[in-house]
Amino acid sequence: MMKEPAVEYSRLLSQYQLQHNVSTEPQAFLSLTDSWTNITVRYLVAVRERRKWSTTLIRDISRDLASPKHAGRIAGSYPRSRIELIDKRFDDEIESSQSAKS
């Protein structure tokens, strides 16, 4: 997938005397966030083919993550938030309304 575009890109960079070290293989980079792990995939494809390859990668990764071999091991999630009320007046109101019910 990447060899031909990588060779062409290297040729262009060399033609303009720009430093180049173009990988001929896709590269994956991981970064941790608060709620999940981001995966960045870098790859070169021919002009006007990025959408096609991007769609193919996303579809294949999604299909693989949903396969039975990953069942119970990988769970998608959304960022979660926790709200803690620290207003003493509000706490007192809750306590008084709960004791009035008792």
pLDDT tens sequence across 25-37: 888 999 988 777 8
pLDDT at 59: 95
Measured CA to CA, the distance from residue 75 to residue 81 in angstroms comes to: 18
For residues 40, 43, 49, 54, the Cα torsion angle rounded to the nearest 10 degrees is -30
Q: How far apart are CA 73 and CA 67, in angstroms?
A: 11
Mean pLDDT split into 10-residue runs, the chain, 102 residues = 81 85 88 84 86 92 90 76 72 72 66
CA distances to 83, 86, 95 from 90, rounded to whole Å, are 14, 8, 9
Put simply, whether the predicted model's pTM sits higher than 0.85 gets the answer: no
Give the pLDDT score at 9.
Answer: 83
* Per-residue confidence (pLDDT) for residue 87, from 0 to 100: 67
